[in-house]
Amino acid sequence: MKRSSGILMPVFSLPSPYGIGTLGKAAYEFIDFLAAAKQSWWQILPVGPTSFGDSPYQSFSTFAGNPYFIDLDMLIKDGLLKKSEFTNLDWGSDEEQVDYGKIYTNKFKVLRKAYERGFARDKKAFEAFAAENAWLGDYALYMACKKHFDMQCWTQWEDEGIRLHEAQSVRKYEQLLKDDVDFYAYLQFLFYTQWEALRAYAKENDIGIIGDVPIYVALDSADVWANPKYFMLDKKNVPIDVAGVPPDYFSKTGQLWGNPLYDWDYMKQEGYGWWIRRIDGAGKLYDIIRIDHFRGFESYWAVPNGEETAIKGEWRKGPGLELVSTLTNWFPQISFIAEDLGILTDEVRALLKDSGLPGMKVLEFAFSGEEPSNYMPHRYEKNCVCYTGTHDNTTLSAWLKQADKKELARVKAYAGLNAGEGFAAGVIRLGMSSVADLFIAQMQDYLGLGASARINTPGINENNWLWRMKKGAASAALAKKIAKITLRYER
């Protein structure tokens, strides 16, 4: 990986007149901003359709795109919508926060009109898209069945045949719900059409896209429903144990994610084909893939299903280097980043070293203790990615404001922070000047925003994934300022 830098900015955080960021005008303008700021990378969060809680790490599909991100103005240009059909809809009153309830209520109504106009018109192109994406049928049927069963998770569906994905029931519901199946499949055609155009524009401007692959998939997903053999489920397809992490920096009771765990023995017998297909799908979206919770490949925290916290769990061995090598050898054209945060053991460190993948260094973690931390830049090797903070951290400004006196004194002395430059700007300078091959800052850090702009607070299920950037905030003046420091440190 060449020496470079980029900005972490979720798609949903882009400004738009329709309540949530999309793949339309603001996304293209953000790429222009990145290019003007001399950045090489746009890092985003997972772009899959979100379920309860709106977390991009709990998606209905590991392959599908989020229909919320389909840009309505682009559908007008494509002849699929009329402006009058959605200008009077309520998308939310706060330009700095997503109102997911209103988006859910109104977006699908509008997209249904686009489907009714476009499905027959785009039949040939849609069929070609479907032929190239084997996951599409299961996903579209899953969403149609969810709607039929009042949006309940598949484990609660009243019809046991379709709940257990029995072939006869699958055929029955494909016919019974054909219109909805076609609708949800067509939305993926629209999403990927817009995504491919945006990615091509990014490439023209020498901007690569970094995206996350969460280590686990949601229980409420087409992935688990259609392929239960890959997961640790009982005879009724109910999870035996679920995923999480033990108590840590973020939470005293740990984080109980609730995702079903993989049947690693079965996956190994199949040559990790499920993971190969998953990374192949992610490669259609991203240029660099960040493997979320990489340490789970070495060993993972298993919590008995039904526990209210993640405290009562146990460590179990993961697939280790065998899986990582399978993926890196299968996809030599894709670069990977290992999200090696959390509780690190010698075994996890050895796995990272043996894999050859760059790990992560987070500046907000560097100054909390008396002893020198491996997150301090003078301890870096080139093969790593330095972050001001991740989507799970608060913004730089909020961190510096909330830090205790000792921590603040350490970072001030180490980085030479001063009021003239700005404390947050000084931490960005620290990361930019480090030897790390790649440096990433959150957009909120460049904007100097406080705690209200935090993306996610781990262990808390409410008021996350909401922040939106104000229109015009990514200004030419800011791009020039970022470009100056980027060029200074030869990124």
Q: Which residues are catalytic?
A: 292, 339, 392
* CA–CA dist 166, 79 (Å, integer): 39
* CA–CA dist 361, 286 (Å, integer): 21
Helix (H) or strand (E) holding 288: strand 288-291
Q: Which two tokens stand for residue 253?
A: 């009771």
* CA–CA dist 122, 138 (Å, integer): 21
- For 137, 253, 269, 357, the CA distances from 243, given in Å and listed in that order, are 27, 14, 22, 24
Q: Across the strands, what pairs with 256? A: 244
- 85 DSSP 8-state letter: G
For residue 35, which phi and psi values (nearest 5 degrees)? Answer: -65, -45
Dihedral Cα 42, 48, 53, 57, nearest 10 deg: -70
The label of the residue with tokens 């700095």 reads 96
At 24, the amino acid letter reads G
Of the candidates 329, 139, 286, 285, the one whose C-alpha atom is nearest the C-alpha of residue 217 is: 139
- 440 DSSP 8-state letter: E
Contact 336, 254 (CB under 8 A): no
* CA–CA dist 7, 145 (Å, integer): 38
Contact 346, 353 (CB under 8 A): no
Q: Across the strands, what pairs with 180? A: none
* CA–CA dist 48, 45 (Å, integer): 9
Q: Which two tokens stand for residue 390?
A: 């991740």
